[in-house]
Structure 1
Amino acid sequence: MEVFDQGTVVPIDRPRRRAVLTFLLLHANHQVCIEQLVDALWGERPPRSARGQVHTAVSALRKLLPGTAAGDGPRDDAGPLASLAGGYRLAVGRHDLDTVDFGREVAEARRLTALGEHAEAVRHLRSGLGLWRGVPLTGIDAPFAEPIRARLEEERFAAYELLADIELGAGRHHELVPELTALVDRYPAREHLVERLVLALYRSGRQTDALAIARRLRALLAEEFGLDPGPALTELENAVLRGDPALLSPRRHTRASLPRLRRLCSHPARTRPYHWRPGR
């Protein structure tokens, strides 16, 4: 979590202040009661001084935070962080939060994909994904952080999967291979990403590499979790092994058009930054 004012980083160094600010940003432009903040920061066993610590953190944040552009969101004359009856509200503008911008770009990409405007959809997806820098909410140590972190990561991977589906459908498998390889190397248990990498490699004439990636995931799942891959990857692996020509069609086997690979197979298979830039 980072705060920028006119391109300059605003230091929010103390962990409690960072956690309070992050939770308020996650509920931007909505009132957050003090009880919500206490529960978010300490869970079921808050200290007796919890409310006082929240007040202290908010008071310090008021002195640190820059203002928002006029007309961008609800705020009072005291600045973007307003005190309300029993709580607080942090006002931010339409383009102040990277998480909001990311969600807006992905939503627009999905709309364009449904209309068949794939090139524009890719542009919006890449714009949204370009906002990411590392793991979200890094350095935020509070009970609320991990579920939010997991949700944001899932949204990110869903965007990558949609991007891969569109690019595969357009026949740009060669261009996808380096990007997907880097992602799978970093997140080797992401089964849906592995599926798309296997397909991109196969369409690039790299059948052996495609099988190696699928089998590496199979071994990882067995060793780490005692699990087998899901049916989609199993069917894809079998189709690659057979050299199924149906896999070569750019308009075939993307999750946007075919929910299950078995519809392609001739035989049934035998056997898943959060940055604030106010006034930008």
Structure 2
Amino acid sequence: MSTHPVVLITGALTGIGRATALAFAREGAHVVVSGRRADQGQKLAEELRTLGAQAEFIQSDVRFENEVRELVDKTVTRFGRLDVAVNSAGTEGQNGPVTERTPEGYAAVFDTNVLGTLLSMKHEMRVMLAQGSGSIVNISSTMGSRGAANASLYVASKHAVEGLTKSAAIEGAASGVRVNAIAPGPVETAMLERLTGTAERKAAFLTNVPLRRAGTPEEIADAIVFVASDKASFITGEIIRVNGGKTAS
């Protein structure tokens, strides 16, 4: 990978995606950040430039193929190639029992988490396979490998992301394209606050983490930067669980 790898990050405006953009910028990468809110996106691109990175914001919604195709094409037009893609766009949807789930609720979660990941990989791999190199990192969750009451759609969507990751990795391997996923446990983000609701419920939720705390977005970003890099050149098709020991017991 060159000294200034070209990195594309979807869902880059908040939480893990944002921390990942900052981490790659500090490593000297050229960074394209993408999301649905233009004002926030432009601010982030400016922040990345203050770190010395060449950075662009491209507005895009991963649920729509024409927008994803355009996002990837504009990235390549701007920087000439695509070395790393981090597919971080995601939503937790509404919680509740299976008996109360609806087709609309299913679409709200799966269109972003599963279709969005699939479309992103489709167009990222189109470029990377032609180049003969590239590294894709998808974002799963602790819930990508276990169940959770009242979170069936989110859980199912992350199981699907892990399946897509493994399948794409096998397809890309012969062409030098690696595909992995990072599966965070609880992380200090707005999503965790929404999930737990109160300080008491959050504290109770974190007692199930052997390290007795949530991770930080920066800790997850460090894992993403590592697995995307040449230091992880023999790792593909893996789900790397970064969760403070949550899945060890």
TM-score above 0.5: no
Which structure has more RCO (C-alpha within 8 Å, separation ≥ 6)?
1
Which has more strand, going by share of residues? 2
Which structure: larger Rg?
Answer: 1
TM-score (norm 1): 0.29
